[in-house]
Structure 1
Amino acid sequence: MNPLFSMAVLALGLVCAAAQAQQSSPVAATAYKAGLSTLTVLDDRNDRPLDGLIWYPTKATGPTRIDFESAVWDGSDVIRDADAAPGPFPFIVVSHGMFGNARNQAWFGAAMARRGFVVAAVDHPGTSTWLRDPDQRRALWERPRDIARVIDFAVSPDTLPVRIDPDQIFMAGHSLGGFTAMALAGARYDADRIGRFCDATPLELVCGIFADWDIAQTPEDRDRMQDDLADKRIRAFAVFDLGGTQSFSDESLNRIDRPLLVFGAPIMNSGLTLDIEARALVAALPPKTVRYIEPATLTHFDFFNLCTPEGYGILAKELPGDEVVCQDGGAHRAAMHDLILNEVTAFFTQHLL
């Protein structure tokens, strides 16, 4: 069973979790506690509601709780609905991977809130754990627009429980969320290119996914997918082991002028092929815009939350094939989280105004 298709484990309640947040960093001291509130984007898109979570810095001392922990996933200390620190703070929007959800990078949200960032994540309709409508899934161009809608909402007065700086907006995306981030950075979908690629390599994971989802199969859908979906308000991007690089035109990738921190995972346990994904992306980008990191032991699922010691065995028994999401999901993943947090903090801090 391919783990990217089989994220139903999340819906069973085994994986409603955030990883244990990191407590210190050589890059930035943890000056705050992490507040956590639910997030609902209120706008005129009644056809595509957006709900999720927002983590933010707080000076409150309690009451703390371990949120989203389960038999499979560790939780992190947060203060639910705490009063926010005064702000304003830089703002990061996170896009989850295929059939994931806003909780997948909860470890990242809580840790970055402790470092003085506000982090928002929403469930993308059609491609999230509990929202799998085929028509919404086919409308893959809506994913970047979801992120733009979160930003629109966040910069409106008095919509969030915390003050953000509208000039300091960043984005992080994992897997399909990395594809979403690249579209917002200025990468343009090229139906002819991905068509030629998939004709030559039909067994590649992304080719199967796009075919199964009927991506860009009508002239109208093709035009929407090939639209310019960039959002110039986003200052810099962190791209976590993306999929879908071969669907972007080289010309559009070469024109991207905003900073990108790209992670590639050489331990390929997801079905993605690094040579045609993160490595190919970096080769097509202007060298001055990109920092590429490929830690030798990084896996695709190290961008998920920490697993409990029992998590791997539970998944192997309950959902054979899905246990890969908890492979080395304890101490090794915690070390990868430290590395990711420090790199992202340093990169985004470097690009603050």
Structure 2
Amino acid sequence: MNHLLKIAALAILTLTFSAQAQDYQTGLADLKITDRTGHRDLKGYVWYPTSQTEGLATHHANPVWAGIEAIAEAPVAPGRFPLVVVSHGMYGNAMNQSWLAADLARRGYVVAAISHPGTSTWLRDADDARQMWERPKDISRLIDHLLASSSLSGTIDPDRIFMAGHSLGGFTAVELAGGRYDRETFKTYCAAHPDELTCDIFDRWNIGKTPEDRAAMQADLSDPRLRGIAVFDLGGTQAFSPASLNEIKTPLLVIGAPEDIHGLDLDVESRALVAALPKSSVTYLEPAGLAHFDFLGECTENGLAILAEEEPADRFVCIDGTTERRALHAMIADAVATFFAAQ
């Protein structure tokens, strides 16, 4: 009953929040974090609130993806703002949730995303992918950089830091909340479910197959600075120690996608995660019509046709990807902003 009341309360707050005026334009800047060892440089973007109104233009667009409206290199608005860090899914990139970042920036959030080496669109080195414990460390490094070394350091409120993660980024987000990889638990699960998508991916990437890798993967990778986390249709729930999930205290908004043809099984992913978490720390939404790839950007009117001709195996990422996806994006952004504000 308490779980249902939390969902109802969030729905009411969402309606209230969406009715509020958005006071800012979206500023946009490139982001680079240099690794002193030269092993894992990070690149991405920062979206932030600006009071400037001139120079609004379309960014991160191509013939398939519609892009977002922002003002490049605009001055940041006066004040101190909460921070949201974002982790993309498997072979995604820092632009995948630009739609959410731009929306949150207009509401008064600084948002930052990087492309994870080894598991992003243009960075697929097998050794980097194997070191999947580096993904949550990337996010912690991103927070470190923004708080101490970036031009936005004085703008960010260190007591209001949040995260959103999609798919494999959702797995990364749960690690940062305190979920801990358990090789033996996952091995047992995969032996009984050899065709499971995440079992196949983790096997191909050689995740946790050596004692050294298992130790690195099973370490505590949590970041206590995160005050709330939004998890978007994650994959890999069965790889976590159930005991570690039951001990998570960070508030989580988990959004499952029930319309997946090419996506993930909710019964072993989002629904299973929610069942394993303490009821006091989780809010679950499963919006009708939502599919796994609706967490990507809005497609252009010609996007589906272009993919059907040039990349037919990937055409499904743009099915219902225009008007329908735009409405889902608005609903998700409202729910996420309301959830973060409540923390």
Which residue matches 1:187? Answer: 179
Q: Is residue 144 from structure 1 mapped to residue 136 from structure 2 by the alignment? A: yes
Which residue matches 1:344? Answer: 336
Q: Is residue 167 from structure 1 mapped to residue 178 from structure 2 by the alignment? A: no
SS at 2:48's partner residue? strand
Task: Tell me the number of residue pairs that the alignment of Structure 1 and Structure 2 aligns.
Answer: 328
Q: Distance in 2 between matches of 1:343 and 1:263?
A: 10
- The 1:189–1:83 alpha-carbon spacing in structure 2 relative to 1, beyond 3 Å, is same
Which residue matches 1:252? Answer: 244
Which residue matches 1:73? Answer: 65
TM superposition shift of 1:62: 1.3
SS at 2:143's partner residue? helix
What CA deviation, in whole Å up to 9, does each residue of 1:277-335 have, x standing for no partner? 00000000001100000011100011111111111111011011201100100111111
TM superposition shift of 1:270: 3.0
Amino acid at match of 1:68: H
Given the alignment, which residue of 17, 20, 23 partners 1:31? 23
Q: Distance in 1 between matches of 2:37 and 2:83?
A: 23
Q: How does 1:195-274 map to 2 (within 5 A)?
A: 195-274=187-266
SS at 2:71's partner residue? strand
What CA deviation, in whole Å up to 9, does each residue of 1:245-304 have, x standing for no partner? 000011000000110000000011333111000000000000110000001110001111
Q: Distance in 2 between matches of 1:42 and 1:58?
A: 26
What CA deviation, in whole Å up to 9, does each residue of 1:208-244 have, x standing for no partner? 0000000001000001000000000000000000000
Q: Distance in 2 between matches of 1:161 and 1:221?
A: 34
Between 1:118-127 and 1:27-36, the stretch displaced more is: 27-36
Q: Is residue 51 from structure 1 mapped to residue 68 from structure 2 by the alignment? A: no
- The 1:199–1:96 alpha-carbon spacing in structure 2 relative to 1, beyond 3 Å, is same
SS at 2:21's partner residue? coil
Residue segments in structure 2 that go unaligned for 5+ positions in a row: 1-15
TM superposition shift of 1:88: 1.0
Which residue matches 2:283? Answer: 291
Structure 1 stretches of at least 4 aligned residues deviating more than 6 Å after TM superposition? none
Q: Distance in 2 between matches of 1:339 and 1:34?
A: 19
Q: Is residue 117 from structure 1 mapped to residue 117 from structure 2 by the alignment? A: no
Determine if contact 1:205/1:271 at 8 Å carries over to the other structure. no
Which residue matches 2:89? Answer: 97
Q: Distance in 2 between matches of 1:266 and 1:38?
A: 34
Q: Distance in 2 between matches of 1:57 and 1:132?
A: 33
Q: Distance in 1 between matches of 2:211 and 2:20?
A: 49
SS at 1:271's partner residue? coil
Residue segments in structure 1 that go unaligned for 5+ positions in a row: 1-23
Q: Distance in 2 between matches of 1:87 and 1:158?
A: 16
TM superposition shift of 1:162: 6.7
Q: Distance in 2 between matches of 1:29 and 1:220?
A: 51
TM superposition shift of 1:25: 6.0
- The 1:215–1:157 alpha-carbon spacing in structure 2 relative to 1, beyond 3 Å, is closer
Which residue matches 1:280? Answer: 272
Q: Distance in 2 between matches of 1:77 and 1:121?
A: 17
Q: Distance in 1 between matches of 2:152 and 2:257?
A: 34
TM superposition shift of 1:156: 0.4
TM superposition shift of 1:120: 0.1
SS at 1:322's partner residue? helix
TM superposition shift of 1:104: 0.5
Between 1:235-244 and 1:316-325, the stretch displaced more is: 316-325
SS at 1:77's partner residue? strand
Q: Distance in 1 between matches of 2:19 and 2:227?
A: 20
TM superposition shift of 1:157: 5.1
- The 1:60–1:290 alpha-carbon spacing in structure 2 relative to 1, beyond 3 Å, is same
Structure with greater helix share of residues: 2
Give the structure-1-normalised TM-score. Answer: 0.91
TM superposition shift of 1:73: 1.1
Q: Is residue 83 from structure 1 mapped to residue 63 from structure 2 by the alignment? A: no
Between 1:96-105 and 1:67-76, the stretch displaced more is: 67-76
Amino acid at match of 1:294: E
TM superposition shift of 1:115: 0.5
Alpha-carbon RMSD across the aligned residues, in angstroms, is 1.3
Give the structure-2-normalised TM-score. Answer: 0.93
